[in-house]
Amino acid sequence: MKLITVLCALGCLLLSQSLYAEDASVEYKIKAGYLFNFTKFVTWADDDSETFNLCILGNDPFGELIDPIEQQSVMGRSIKLFRLGALGSKKQPHCHILFVSSSVADMPVAQDVDNTLVVGEGGRFVAQGGMIGFVIKLGKIKLQINLKPIKQSGLKISAKLLEVADVVKGDNNE
C-alpha cells in the first residue's frame, strides 16, 4: 500500500512538472506571436536596414519557438532574429524590436534607443522605463505600455494596440 502511495505521489509530481513546462511553452509561443504582431501596430521611422531585426537580450526564453518568425517579413523586409546574450563592446545590429529577457537584472531600459521598440516581461519592466511589458494577470498574458519612452524613441503606436493594454503615462505610476 505504501508503495502505491509513493508511486502515485511521484506520478503527480512528474505530471505537474510536465504541465508547468507545457504552460511555459504556451506562454512563450503567445509572447512570440505578440512580438510579430507588434510590427502591425507600431510605426518605425525609415532606415537603411536590409532586414527587420528582432533581438533577444539575455537568456533566450523562447528557444526554437520563435525561430519561425524568420519566415515572415515586415515592411517589405525579411525578419532576422538575433540572440544577443549580453550587451558587450562588440558591434550590435540595429534592433527594431529588442526583447529584454527577465534574466537581465536592473538594466536601465529604453535609454538612447531611437527607432527601437523595447519589450520585456514582469511587472517592474515598464515602471523602469521599458516600452511594452508582458505581465501575467489571472493566468493570462496582458500588456503594459509606457508612452513616454515610446514617444522619445520616435516610434508611433496604433490606438488599436493601446486599447488592449494598460497604458502607463511615463511618470512611473500605473
pLDDT in tens, 14-53: 333 333 334 668 899 999 999 999 999 999 998 889 999 9
Query: In this predicted structure, what is the pLDDT of residue 124?
Result: 86
Mean pLDDT of 84-88: 70
May I ask the CATH architecture of the domain 29-168?
Answer: 3-Layer(aba) Sandwich (3.40)
Tell me, what DSSP letter sits at residue 68? G
Q: Where are the domains of the chain?
A: 29-168
Query: In this predicted structure, what is the pLDDT of residue 106?
Result: 60
Order of strands, sheet of 140-146, starting from the edge strand that comes earlier in the sequence: 73-74, 77-85, 52-57, 97-100, 117-121, 132-137, 140-146, 165-168
Query: In this predicted structure, what is the pLDDT of residue 132?
Result: 95
Which three-class secondary structure state does DSSP give residue 29?
helix
How far is residue 131's CA from residue 70's CA, in Å, rounded to a whole number?
A: 23
How far is residue 61's CA from residue 102's CA, in Å, rounded to a whole number?
A: 9
Query: In this predicted structure, what is the pLDDT of residue 70?
Result: 95
Per-residue pLDDT for 172 more than 50? no
In contact, 115 and 47? CB cutoff 8 Å: yes
At 111-158, the pLDDT tens digits run: 567 899 999 998 888 988 899 999 998 889 999 999 999 999 999 999
In contact, 53 and 80? CB cutoff 8 Å: yes
Least confident interval from 93-102, 104-113, 146-155: 104-113
pTM of the model: 0.80
Residue type, 118: V
How far is residue 119's CA from residue 168's CA, in Å, rounded to a whole number?
A: 14
Q: Is 165 exposed, middle or buried (0-12, 13-18, 19+ CB in 10 A)?
A: middle
**Residue 107's pLDDT band (cuts 50, 70, 90):** low
DSSP 3-state percent helix, strand, coil across the chain (nearest 5): 35, 30, 35
